[in-house]
Chain A
Amino acid sequence: MTQPTATAPAPQPAPAEPLLETRALTKTFPIRKGFLSRTVGEVRAVAEVDLQIRPGQTVGLVGESGCGKSTLGRCILRAHQPTSGEIRYRRADGEVVDLAQLSEKELKPYRRDIRMVFQDPFSSLNPRMTLLELVGEPLLVNHVVPKNQIEGRVAELLRRVGLRPEYLHRYPNAFSGGERQRVGLARALALDPRLVVADEAVSALDVSVRAQILNLMKDLQEAEDLTYLFISHDLGMVEYMADEVVVMYVGRVVETGPTDELYTRPLHPYTEALLSSVPDPDPNTARRPERIVLRGEVADPSDVPPGCPFNPRCFYAEERCRTEVPALREVAPGRRAACHFAETLQLRGIEELGAA
């Protein structure tokens, strides 16, 4: 009944129970200096993030580099140990567990449920392993299939991601970027996961191949009832893939909402600026004069400005923004934003920014 590719704003309200939910998830990295490696400060890469991922949906996580979106993805996988906060995961039997507290050993069954697709298909595949070994590795490690059946299973997986099973005994160097990314997908799918974290999974690919992989991910989602956390800096791709979008800035979530609504009517000035800076190949709209070009650079996460972290770059900032940190709050049903003036600002979405 879940319709992952449906684009009409949620034909049926998605099941209320999220598959994965983070509560006040925080990850800080210490800054060490000197001979004794004393901690002199910390980088708050992810700061009190509340995120909800509903089953069968694709949640797009966008933001500039350094905003903590990859760290958040890795915390959910427990590739990083979060500093504080909860990662509440709903198991297939309906029970909710907090992944943040589990030990490595207790975590093992969940490692099969939550898988990752990495960004760079050239460095994420071991060049000395054949496709059979690469894709078969998760099967072997988790004792899913008896050894003598692995080959058949891997061939089946390769077929599912659009690779020929004859390639089984070849090494990654024989494949192009797009094909390697398919191998990465096959590896992630090998254990029938429920949630796949795709961290910039297509960013390294060429445009013509990128569309192939995006379509493949959509098909797989439909066929296998997958849930994606789609991390990307490309708003065009996120719009194409995601049902719901989360915008991050310097470790914080600044805005969330269903894709269509968020793109047509952003509630946070940062989202507006992001939308406006996406280059559009349509020659009629490409040179819109009212493009917003942000001042300055992304704030340093080890030295976040007081008040709203976005205030030095914001065109609407007022005195209150420099002193008081805005909380992420529900502005409209299903829409949350961390801006003091979310209700009063009239921000432009893609329709006003684009041609229409």
Chain B
Amino acid sequence: MLQTPTSEQTARRRVDDQPVVLRISGLRTRFALDDGVVDAVEGVDLEVRRGETLAVVGESGCGKSVMARSVLQLVDRPGRIVGGQVWVPRPPEPTAAGRRRGWFGRTRRPPRAEEGPDGMVGLVGADPEVVRAVRGKRISMVFQEPMTSLSAVHTVGHQITEAIQLHEPMTKQEARERVVDLLRKVGIAAPEKRVDAYPFQLSGGMRQRVMIAMALSCDPELLIADEPTTALDVTTQAQILELLGRLRDELGMAIMLITHDLGVAAQLADSVAVMYLGRVVERGDLAEVFRDPRHPYTQALLRSVPKLGRRTGERLAPVRGMVPHPYARPSGCSFRDRCDHFIEGVCDTALPPVVRDEHGHEVRCVLYQEDRR
């Protein structure tokens, strides 16, 4: 077996007995459009533990962003979660004073949410109050395009203060000090001045830092980073990835990193889930999946990336064809039309089962089924 850096192995071992901060089971998100139904997420099962970094990789249109938004119940109409559940640790009950009062100051009934195992609650179908207590506080999100996700007419400080005051009883002055602290933590020079800057006065890398500061403002357990570096240059990307890694280790939070760039995933993540057309096709320890990819799609994806320093003169081996149109998914295994190992009568009839080996490396492909070998 190949030598793995020891730091990785210890990181992996440490994570296994940590509490789960997010468990997605059988999540299905559907977009009912005028000319057809798109199942953007079709039964995804994932789990993130405290301190773990999970990378979700896949091409555009594979449903990775919709999956992330579904976690926080942020899917816009006509999208709708039609099945499955998103389990998170029960958020603390809001204090009597902090809880919103109903009409005429009547105390409302306690918020409703599906109870799960290990003291977890389900966010799908829960009262908005429960979702709000989680969103931004326990689980926060960094979006892809920092210019469109920041308000252009409010100062950076104002926007972060808003997030803090929503979740924590703080005066404006205290919140402002906290914001300056946060901006310093994410590596913005002269934070006392930058607090009053508008987003257009900042560069792309700085805006992304502001987004990260905002996401960290309430010490989340889990940070969902949706393509956090895609709009940035390589040198800035390296800075942001280093920052995320450092903050993760300092704050002990978990990260769910959504990216199409396998290199970015390899740099930050402990484990990886490869998505194709709404399904997770392979999941496991990152070093293991990338060294020994099992699903034909993962193999093809890794082959099609030009790697630095592997200039051997050989041609890239691209994945054949293209991602099928979401209205017309192939039956059975959704990758079968582009797969080199297509088996007629098997791959096109039924959805391949998930095969799991002793290390927890999961793959959804008939090639690894016991009785077929």
Contacts and interface: CB of A to CB of B under 8 A. Distances in A.
B59 A206 contact: yes
A197 B274 CA distance: 35
A7 B314 CA distance: 9
B303 to A, nearest CB: 8
A350 B306 CA distance: 14
Interface in A1-25: 5-8
A64 B205 CA distance: 12
A115 B206 CA distance: 36
A287 B234 contact: no
B309 interface: yes
Interface string B253-274: 0000000111111110000000
B145 to A, nearest CB: 14
Given A207-B305, A354-B308, A281 B2 contact: no
Contacts of B307: 236, 280-282
Contact of A277 (B234, B265, B266, B316): B234
Nearest to B202: A297
Interface in B244-291: 260-267, 286-287, 290-291
Contacts of B300: 208
Given A206-B60, A259-B311, A275-B308, A214 B8 contact: no
User: For the side of the interface on A, what is the size category?
Assistant: 35 or more
B4 A283 contact: yes
B267 A286 contact: yes
A176 B306 CA distance: 22
A279 to B, nearest CB: 3
Contacts of B286: 283
Nearest to B290: A283
A344 interface: no
Nearest to B242: A293
A212 interface: yes
A333 to B, nearest CB: 21
Contact of B263 (A6, A260, A278): A278
B318 A211 contact: yes
A208 B3 contact: no
A208 B318 contact: yes
B301 interface: yes
Nearest to B240: A293
Interface string A238-274: 0110000000000000000001100100000000011
Contact of B267 (A208, A259, A273, A279): A279
Nearest to A280: B263
A8 B291 CA distance: 28
B301 A280 contact: no
A286 B301 contact: no
B46 interface: no
A65 B322 CA distance: 29
Nearest to A206: B59
A347 interface: no
B52 to A, nearest CB: 16
Contacts of A329: none
Contacts of A263: 308-309, 311
Contact of B301 (A178, A207, A233, A273): A207
A283 B272 CA distance: 12
Interface in A84-124: none
Interface string B293-334: 000000011101111110111011111001100000000000
A346 interface: no
Interface string A192-222: 0000000000000011111110110010000
A278 B307 CA distance: 10
B319 A208 contact: yes
A279 B8 contact: no
B245 to A, nearest CB: 9
B306 A237 contact: yes
A291 interface: yes
User: Among the interface residues A207, A209, A284, which one has the most CB atoms of the partner chain B within 10 A?
Assistant: A207
16 contacts: A7-B311, A64-B233, A64-B234, A208-B301, A209-B318, A209-B319, A218-B315, A235-B308, A263-B308, A280-B308, A281-B263, A281-B266, A292-B238, A294-B238, A350-B308, A350-B309
